């Protein structure tokens, strides 16, 4: 039989356990204390065993009405659920009534697109000693819509500049062939003529000043520095360039399926999220491009 314990006392015991037994950080403990206190303010200091699922749901609804973000509501639910779960394990109550409550779905944030004039500004020549390399890298990053990991992972034998093609290994080492714009091909050729022979037979296309493979972090830092020098939006990231590539292609009338192939997405739905299409427009584009995919509905 569970001990009759008030919500405040149970919360105090739980927070003490977090600190002394689970060795949680002070930040974590402060966040749990704050969220649980708000739940107590909502319910009152009732017996722990009297908490119901409806009370937890009503609290989340009331919190949502205050305009709180989905991530905040999910965190609040997690705090109360953790308290009840620990109380069940300690024999202070029979069930964790919050376990069956689902937090609101958090919307996936996508990076903003970079306007075409901003990408053009980013490609201006600068006085940077690595300018030839950086221009070639940016031309591939944006012009081919690659992930930054795919760009730094490129090896010399992945390139066919005569055919203007790159062999790219995406997520899960899935291989795809992507076309290289002519301008990007020229910049790559300029860079390779200056790249020279790296020590220890380094096969990476893009090298740092030590003649070893360029890192993802270095590319991110280069983008920020270049944006400052060229007067471009300094919030630019490699992923934002990839997102811009997809959006600009779609605006130019390129088929959504073709964009999916270029980006290396396994699902068309992923490409749809990149391009901000609503589901009705997505279906329309898909059906227009693939008439045989249209379903014949029963009359």
pLDDT digits (tens, 9 = 90+) for 240-281: 888 888 888 877 778 878 888 888 887 777 777 666 544 344
Q: What is the mean pLDDT of the chain?
A: 83
Q: Is the dihedral of CA 126, 132, 133, 138 positive or negative?
A: positive
Q: Give 136-145 pLDDT, tens digit per residue.
A: 999 999 989 8
Q: Is 159 helix (H, G, I), strand (E, B) or coil?
A: strand
More confident: 71 or 1: 71
- The pLDDT, as a whole number, for residue 256 is 79
| Percentage of residues in the chain having pLDDT higher than 70 | 86
The CATH number assigned to the domain with range 7-100 reads 1.10.150.130
Q: Provide the 10 A C-beta neighbour count for residue 174.
A: 10
**Lowest-confidence region among 38-42, 59-63, 252-256, 293-297:** 293-297
Which one, of 232, 14, 31, 280, lies nearest residue 119 by Cα?
A: 232
Q: Is 207 helix (H, G, I), strand (E, B) or coil?
A: strand
| Percentage of residues in the chain having pLDDT higher than 90 | 36
Using the predicted structure, report yes or no on whether residue 110 has a pLDDT greater than 80. Answer: no
- The pLDDT, as a whole number, for residue 39 is 94
Start-end of CATH 1.10.150.130 domains in the chain: 7-100
CA gap 216, 34 in Å, rounded: 38
The secondary element (H helix, E strand) that includes residue 169 is strand 165-169
Measure the CA angle with vertex 163, ends 160 and 165; round to 5°.
Answer: 55
Using the predicted structure, report yes or no on whether residue 153 has a pLDDT greater than 90. Answer: yes
Q: Give 24-51 pLDDT, tens digit per residue.
A: 888 888 999 999 999 999 999 999 888 9
Mean pLDDT of 196-223: 87
CA atoms within 13 A on the CB side of 272: 13
Q: Is 120 helix (H, G, I), strand (E, B) or coil?
A: helix
**Lowest-confidence region among 62-76, 110-124, 219-233, 262-276:** 262-276
- The pLDDT, as a whole number, for residue 222 is 93
Using the predicted structure, report yes or no on whether residue 104 has a pLDDT greater than 80. Answer: no
What residues are annotated to the active site?
A: 147, 171, 239, 242, 265, 274
Start-end of CATH 1.10.443.10 domains in the chain: 116-292
- The pLDDT, as a whole number, for residue 294 is 43
Using the predicted structure, report yes or no on whether residue 92 has a pLDDT greater than 90. Answer: no
More confident: 253 or 207: 207
More confident: 13 or 289: 13
CATH of 116-292, one of 1.10.443.10, 3.40.50.450, 1.25.40.10, 3.90.1260.10: 1.10.443.10
């Amino acid at each position: 039989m569970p001990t009759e314990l008030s919500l405040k006392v149970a919360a105090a015991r739980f927070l003490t356990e977090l600190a002394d037994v689970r060795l949680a950080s002070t930040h974590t403990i402060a966040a749990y204390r704050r969220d649980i206190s708000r739940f107590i303010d909502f319910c009152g200091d009732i017996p722990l065993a009297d908490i119901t699922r409806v009370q937890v749901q009503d609290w989340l609804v009331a919190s949502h009405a205050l305009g709180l973000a989905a991530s905040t509501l999910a965190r609040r639910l997690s705090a109360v659920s953790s308290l009840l779960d620990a109380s069940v394990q300690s024999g202070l109550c029979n069930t964790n009534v919050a376990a069956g409550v689902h937090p609101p779905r958090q919307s996936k944030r996508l990076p903003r697109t970079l306007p075409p004039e901003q990408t053009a500004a980013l490609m201006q020549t600068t006085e940077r000693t690595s300018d030839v390399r950086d221009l070639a890298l940016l031309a591939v990053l944006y012009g081919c819509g690659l992930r930054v990991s795919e760009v730094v992972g490129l090896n010399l034998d992945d390139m066919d500049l005569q055919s203007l093609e790159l062999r790219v290994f995406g997520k899960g080492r899935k291989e795809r062939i992507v076309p290289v714009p002519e301008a990007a091909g020229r910049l790559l050729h300029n860079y390779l003529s200056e790249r020279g022979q790296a020590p220890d037979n380094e096969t990476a296309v893009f090298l740092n000043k030590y003649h070893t493979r360029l890192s993802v972090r270095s590319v991110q830092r280069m983008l920020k520095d270049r944006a400052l020098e060229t007067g471009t939006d300094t919030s630019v990231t490699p992923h934002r360039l990839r997102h811009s590539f997809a959006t600009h292609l779609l605006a130019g009338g390129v088929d959504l399926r073709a964009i999916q192939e270029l980006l290396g997405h396994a699902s068309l739905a992923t490409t749809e999220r990149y391009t901000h299409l609503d589901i009705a427009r997505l279906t329309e584009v898909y059906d227009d491009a693939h008439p045989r995919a249209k379903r014949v509905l029963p009359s």
